[in-house]
Every structure is written in structure tokens, then in C-alpha cells.
Amino acid sequence: MNRPPLAAVIVYFYILVILATTGHALDARDIITTAVNYYRGNASIATMEMRIQRPAWQRVVTLKAWTRGQKNSLFTIVSPAKDQGNGTLKRGRDMWTYNPKVNRVIKIPPSMMSQAWLGSDFSNNDLAKSDSIIEDYTHTIVKTETHENQTVYVIQSIPIPQAPVVWGMQVLKIREDHILLAQEFYDEEKKLVKAMTGSRIEMLGGKRFPRVWKMQKADVEQEYTLLNYVELQFKDDLPDRFFTLSALRDPGR
Amino acid sequence: MFSIDMKMAWRNIWRNPRRSILTIAAVAFAGMLLVFMLSWQFGSYETMIHSAVKVHTGHLQVQARDYQRKQSIHLVVPDPAAVQNLLMASAHVTAAAGRANAFALVSSKDRTYGVRVTGIDPQREARVSTLKKLIRRGRYLTAGDVDLALVGKLLARNLKVDLDDEIVVLGQGRDGSIAATVVRVKGIFSSGQDDLDRRAMYLPLAYFQDVFNMRGAVNEVVAIADALDQVSEIKVTVAAGLKNIGKNDELVVLDWKELMPGLIEGIQMDLVGGFIFYLILIVVMAFSILNTFLMAILERKREFGVLLAIGTSHRRVTRILIFESAGMTLLGILAGVIAGSLVTLYFQAHGIHIPGSTDILRQYGLPDRIYPQLSFLSASIGPAVVLLITLLAALYPALKVWRLKPVEAMASV
């Protein structure tokens, strides 16, 4: 009886293991999940400058932001002085906005959540970086590119039928060190609507992170929003009191 | 004056009065129905356009280029006074008023909605739209008003607010800054158009311009013409005049068709639907006429046989028959047009109220009473088509005479 030599069996298993692990590493869903978690962190405190560019005008707003997971976030305007103190609080599916001039907290109807945020090209949902991109889509790696000597996975995400999403397709570019380089949003006819790109990858809050985010409307060269992180800290956790209605009126206490 | 053939045809018609009268009545009824229905359709379009124009859009608007499509507060008419003067310079423009619009969140104690907030000049607005007359409760705005608002009936109900209650308005100003204010409800209006009553709120223009940082600008200047058919002419004049105001052709003038593309589409769809119905009506009527004439000829084979036998030509017999049918058709059409016009004129004066239709009409922005509009066009198109079709229908039986042979024809009963 001819038995295969022991060495051959070992090599065979070795190949199996390699195949299994590479197969695992190339799972598109895992890549996205890791990237979203990397981007989001457990909790964060950030100061950012948002520049809204339009053909006829432009506007720069400085914001301070507190986030915890995907559920909780609080944004407040630091400058311009005229708008200082205006803020939005998001807790789960609920969202409120506060205006110091009229001294009222207003609950935002869910239908307004996909609307432009502070008149920018970002929507409330874009900022929340919710799990929707992971849960509501099926993902396939369509190709790989290289960026600064690292592999970049280009992932095409198609919504699961009946998923409550507004996009017909999204294309994400994620580098092997989990950094999201670009996210493209397409409508139902697979036509590009807007695209977000991250640039100036630097050490921020203890990890490499794109400092500048640009949300650009398709076909409109002069309409975009730049989000520039002035300061970013990642935390293990933030206490509940940062995400309450009274924190919205008087943030950061 | 009348040929022998015509006299014969006339006598033939009245030889069997009951049958002829029935045929004439069928034609008359179709004619009457068509006159009335077409007048009704044209009348309701006129009402629809008129009420839509008067409730909100006006006959013409001057806007910044692309404003109609983008509805962005940043696209403005920077110098509304100059545009108003230009519009009023036209002899056929009766009134003009500037408006500024913003999409904003409005919030009462426990409800929030996204609506269109419009700043209006109370005095000028009263001349370009029916807003002032639509106030159901409270009062209309006056020139000196500051933090007061008019809200739609459905919006007031949704927000659960009443007169003098506070509403928080939160939106974005022309410069991108956050616009926020608290206003009190001065009046509640009901236009009958659900969309407007649910999603519109009016503030005094000067106050709006202050809150939304408009720096004196408006988003649209609305104009009303003295008649609908003057609109295209005014549009040309104003478009030429706008070249001298502002730079780079940044201002455009739009007519009501461009402002309300949905309305025109609705009218066209309704017209097509109407024409299909009329076509069916006319075809059914044509078959009944065809039937009557065919019967008449089959019955009168013997008579035609005799006529042919005594030397009348086939041509002449055919001619008499065609005169016969033409005579009946013309009588029917005449009666139909007269009856249809009388009925239409009656309802034109009194209006028609269809019980239970108020809600449907409201969706189309129509008042609950419809006034048909008799015109030369509505009184002539339908009957003309009926005349043509019946004459064609009568041709077939008349031509059958050509195949008759005198001896055989006389032998038949």
C-alpha cells in the first residue's frame, strides 16, 4: 500500500491553512467592519474646521465634537461667533438641535436625518458613521490598488433588497492598515452622486488618520465641503453626561 | 333655390318622421354632449390655472437663474425694487411683489416639521395672490409687523398651535449662518391646496430679510397680468429689460407654465383622456347613424327600383340619399349646438357643484364649484367632427344603390 510521505501531508495542510487565512483576510465585510471601527474608535473628542465651498459663496465653521460608538454624538459650533453655541445631539435614532438665540432644543424628525448637515455636503448619517454600511449591504472586493506602498482594497457594496438605505451602491477604498481612503455614493442607476476622500494621513489621536476629508458632489467642481481635523483624541469611553440634553445646551461639561 | 333633388330628400326625411326624428335626436344628443363636455373641460382648466396662479405662483416670476430648479436661498434677485419697476412698466402687468423663501424647521412645543417659510410684503402680496382672502382665522399681516406669522391650516393642526401661540423657526440664512427666531401666529389660512396648507408659512418680508440675513434681496418677484393671453408678450419685454439689470444674465423671467410644469402635464393628460372618451362617443353614434341609413335603404329597395326603372340615374338616386342623410345630420347638429350652448350658458352662470367631489377637486387646487366656459372652439370642434363622421357613415349605404338592378329591386318587398 502506497502512503503519501509525511512531508507531503504537512505541506498539504500548510497550504490549506494559508488558503484559509488569506481567504479570511480578504473577506470584504471584515475589512469594512475593521475600517469603520478604526475610524470611529470607542469614543472621541475632536475639533474640526468645516469649509463649505459654493460657486457664489463659502463659509468656514469650527466645530467641537464628542462621539461614543455609532450611537452617541454631540456637535457644537465654536466659530463664527454669530452661530456659537448652536449644536446637535444624536442618541441612537433620535436627534436634537439647540439654538442659543431662541434658547430652544428642537427634536429633528427622522425624515430630516439624510438632509444636509449645517448646509454642508455631509448628511447627518454621513457623520454618524453608523453600522448601516456594514449591515445593510453585501460586499465584494472588485480590485486592489497600492497607496504609499500599501495594498488598497476597492470594495463594491450593494444594498440588500429592502434595506432602508438611500444609495444604490457604494464603493469604498480601504487601505490594509484599515484607513478609509475614499467612499463613493451612487444612486439607483449606479450614477455617482457624491464622493468622500480622505487625505493627509498623519498621526492623530495616537493613530494614523486622514486629517482632511473632502465631500465632493459629482459633476460640480466648485461645490464641496472640506472637513479638517484640527485636533483629535480617541478615548476608551466617555461618560453619559456628555450626551444629554443639558450637555447640548452647555457642551463639554 | 332648392333643387328638385333637395326637395325630394327633404320629403323623404319626413315620410317616416319617427325614425328620422330619432336619428336627428341621436346626432343632436352627441353634439350637445360634446359642446357641454368640451366647455366643461376648458372651463375647469381655466379655473385650475387661474386659482393656481392666484394662490401662489403668479403669471410670471423673475428669479435668479437656476432658482426654479435648485430652490436655494443663495440664488437671489439682489435689487427687487428695480425688477418691480421693470415689471410695472409693462401696461399689462397689474401688480408685482417680491418674496423670499427658505426651507426651515418649524417647531411648536412638541412637534417639528420641515416647511417652506416665505417672506412677503403684506400690501403688495395682497395684489398678486389671494392669500389675504384665504385667512380663515386671525388677521392678515400688516406693514409694521415683526415677529408674526401666517400658517396653513393643516400645518397649524399638525403643530397643534392656535392664534398667538409661539413657533420656533430654525433654518439657514443667505450667508450660510444659522437663522433662528420665535414668531407668534397672527393668522391661519386655508387655500384648499393641501400641499400649501401643510407646508407653508409666511412672515413679513422685512423681518424675514433680517432673520435670514438677506441683505435686502428676495428670491422671486411675482407679477400678475391682466389677462392670461398677455403673458407671453410681457415675458418677451421683461426678458429684454432684465439684460439691463444685474450682470451676466443672472436674472430670468419664467411664466406660469414653467413655474407649474405639473399643472400643464395634468391638463394634457386630462385632454387626452377626454379625447378618447369623445372618440368612443362619436364612433358609437356613427354606427347608429350607419344602421338607420342602411335600414332605410334595404326597406326602400322597391322604391329605388321604380325610380331607376323610370329613368332616374344611379347618380341621382345616390345624391338624393346623401342629401337626405346630410339634412338629418345638419338638423341634429344644429339642435345639438343650440341645446349644448344653452345648457353650458346656464351652468356658466350658475356653476356646477358635484356633491362629494370637494376633496378630489381640492387636490387639483379647484374650488368646489366649476364653471364651464363656452367658446367658439368648444362649441364647434365636437359638432364639426360629428358632422364629418356621420357624412362618412352615410356614404356606405348611399353607394349600395349603385349595385341595384331595377327589375330585381322592384321584385323585392
Residues A175-186: pLDDT tens digits?
888 888 999 999
For residue A1, the model assigns a pLDDT of 47
Distance CA(B321)–CA(B135), nearest Å, equals 65
- Grid cell in block for residue B177: 449662518
Residue B114, burial from CB neighbour count under 10 angstroms (0-12, 13-18, 19+): middle
| Residue B334 sits in the same domain as residue B387 | yes
The letter for the amino acid at B305 is: G
For residue A25, the model assigns a pLDDT of 45
B105 in contact with A at a CB cutoff of 8 Å?
A: yes
Q: What are phi and psi of A203, to 5 degrees?
A: -75, 120
Instruction: Return the beta strands (E) in B205-326 as ranges.
Output: 220-225, 251-255
Assigned domain for B95 exists: yes
| Residue B76 sits in the same domain as residue B181 | yes
Residue A167, burial from CB neighbour count under 10 angstroms (0-12, 13-18, 19+): buried
- Sign of the dihedral defined by the CA atoms of residues A41, A43, A49, A54, in that order: positive
- Sign of the dihedral defined by the CA atoms of residues A110, A113, A114, A119, in that order: positive
Domain boundary among B206, B225, B249: B249
- The answer to whether A174 and A205 have CB atoms below 8 angstroms apart is no
Instruction: Count residue pairs from A and B with Cβ separation < 8 A.
Output: 54
- Sign of the dihedral defined by the CA atoms of residues A172, A174, A178, A183, in that order: negative
Assigned domain for A1 exists: no
Give the burial string for B335-359 (b: 16+ CB within 10 Å, else e): bbbebbbebbeebbeeebeeeeeee
Report CB contact under 8 Å: B175, A56.
no
- Helices B17-52, B261-299: inter-axial angle, 10-degree rounding: 180
Residue in B74, B170, B182 closest to A57 by CB: B74
Assigned domain for B198 exists: yes
Segments of chain B scoring below 50 in pLDDT? none
CA distances for B393 relative to A129, B283, B399, angstroms: 73, 10, 11
Distance CA(B155)–CA(B202), nearest Å, equals 12
User: What are the residues whose beta carbons fall under 8 Å from the beta carbon of B201, sequence distance 6 or more?
Assistant: B106, B115, B116, B117, B118, B149, B150, B151, B152, B155, B167, B169
pLDDT above 70 covers a percentage of chain A that reads 84
Distance CA(B307)–CA(B4), nearest Å, equals 14
Please give the torsion angle defined by the CA atoms of residues A7, A11, A14 and A18, in that order, rounded to the nearest 10 degrees: 170
- Closest chain B residue to A79, measured at CA: B177
Assigned domain for B154 exists: yes
B216 in contact with A at a CB cutoff of 8 Å?
A: no
- The answer to whether A233 and A205 have CB atoms below 8 angstroms apart is yes
pLDDT digits (tens, 9 = 90+) for A50-76: 998 887 778 899 999 898 887 888 889
Report CB contact under 8 Å: B177, A80.
yes
- The answer to whether A226 and A60 have CB atoms below 8 angstroms apart is no
Assigned domain for B320 exists: yes
**How many separate domains does chain A show?**
1
- Residue B211 region by backbone torsions, left for phi larger than 0, else alpha for psi between -120 and 50, else beta: alpha
* Block residue for cell numbers 427658505: B102
Give the gap in angstroms from C-alpha B114 to the nearest C-alpha of chain A.
8
H or E segment to which residue A159 belongs: strand A150-159
The DSSP code sequence of B83-149 is: HHHHHHHSTTEEEEEEEEEEEEEEE-SS-EEEEEEEEE-HHHHHHHSSHHHHEEEE----TT--SEE
| Residue B208 sits in the same domain as residue B168 | yes
**Long-range contacts: A178-182, Cβ < 8 Å, 24+?**
A178/A31, A178/A34, A178/A35, A178/A38, A179/A35, A179/A38, A179/A208, A179/A209, A179/A210, A180/A35, A180/A36, A180/A38, A180/A39, A180/A210, A181/A147, A181/A152, A181/A210
- Closest chain B residue to A95, measured at CA: B112
- Grid cell in block for residue B352: 356646477
Question: Per DSSP, what are the bridge partners of residue A151?
Answer: A146
Domain boundary among B249, B278, B306: B249
Domain interval for residue B82: 66-249
Assigned domain for B403 exists: yes
| Residue B405 sits in the same domain as residue B372 | yes
- Grid cell in block for residue A105: 432644543
Assigned domain for B188 exists: yes
Model confidence band, residue A7 (pLDDT cutoffs 50, 70, 90): low
For residue A130, the model assigns a pLDDT of 64
Distance CA(A214)–CA(A228), nearest Å, equals 9
For residue A14, the model assigns a pLDDT of 61
| Residue B221 sits in the same domain as residue B336 | no
Report CB contact under 8 Å: B170, A99.
yes
- The answer to whether A204 and A173 have CB atoms below 8 angstroms apart is no
Residue in A101, A111, A119 closest to B172 by CB: A119
| Residue B97 sits in the same domain as residue B231 | yes
Helices (H), B146-260: 153-159, 194-199, 205-211, 231-242, 256-259
Distance CA(B187)–CA(A147), nearest Å, equals 62
| Residue B231 sits in the same domain as residue B94 | yes
Assigned domain for A198 exists: yes
Instruction: Assign residue A133 the CATH number of its domain.
Output: 2.50.20.10
Report CB contact under 8 Å: B176, A57.
yes
For residue B364, the model assigns a pLDDT of 56
For residue B315, the model assigns a pLDDT of 87
DSSP state of B228: G
Assigned domain for B257 exists: no
For residue B200, the model assigns a pLDDT of 92
Give the gap in angstroms from C-alpha A133 to the nearest C-alpha of chain B.
27
The DSSP code sequence of B1-12 is: ---HHHHHHHHH
3-state SS assignment for residue A102 = coil
Distance CA(A25)–CA(A19), nearest Å, equals 10
| Residue B232 sits in the same domain as residue B149 | yes
For residue B17, the model assigns a pLDDT of 87
Give the gap in angstroms from C-alpha A83 to the nearest C-alpha of chain B.
6
Report CB contact under 8 Å: A119, B181.
no
Which among A80, A65, A94 is positioned nearest to B173, based on CA atoms?
Answer: A80
Distance CA(A136)–CA(A166), nearest Å, equals 11
Assigned domain for A115 exists: yes
Distance CA(A49)–CA(A247), nearest Å, equals 21
B168 in contact with A at a CB cutoff of 8 Å?
A: yes
**How many separate domains does chain B show?**
2
Report CB contact under 8 Å: A52, B176.
yes
Per the omega criterion (within 30 degrees of 0), is the bond before A80 cis? yes
- Residue A190 region by backbone torsions, left for phi larger than 0, else alpha for psi between -120 and 50, else beta: left
Domain interval for residue A160: 6-249
Domain boundary among B191, B220, B249: B249
DSSP state of A112: G
pLDDT at A23 over 50: no
Model confidence band, residue A230 (pLDDT cutoffs 50, 70, 90): very high
Which among B178, B349, B114, B271 is positioned nearest to A108, based on CA atoms?
Answer: B114
| Residue B319 sits in the same domain as residue B369 | yes
For residue A128, the model assigns a pLDDT of 60
| Residue B42 sits in the same domain as residue B102 | no
- Grid cell in block for residue B121: 410684503
| Residue B220 sits in the same domain as residue B341 | no
Assigned domain for A87 exists: yes
For residue A47, the model assigns a pLDDT of 92
B107 in contact with A at a CB cutoff of 8 Å?
A: yes
- Closest chain B residue to A112, measured at CA: B114
Model confidence band, residue A12 (pLDDT cutoffs 50, 70, 90): low
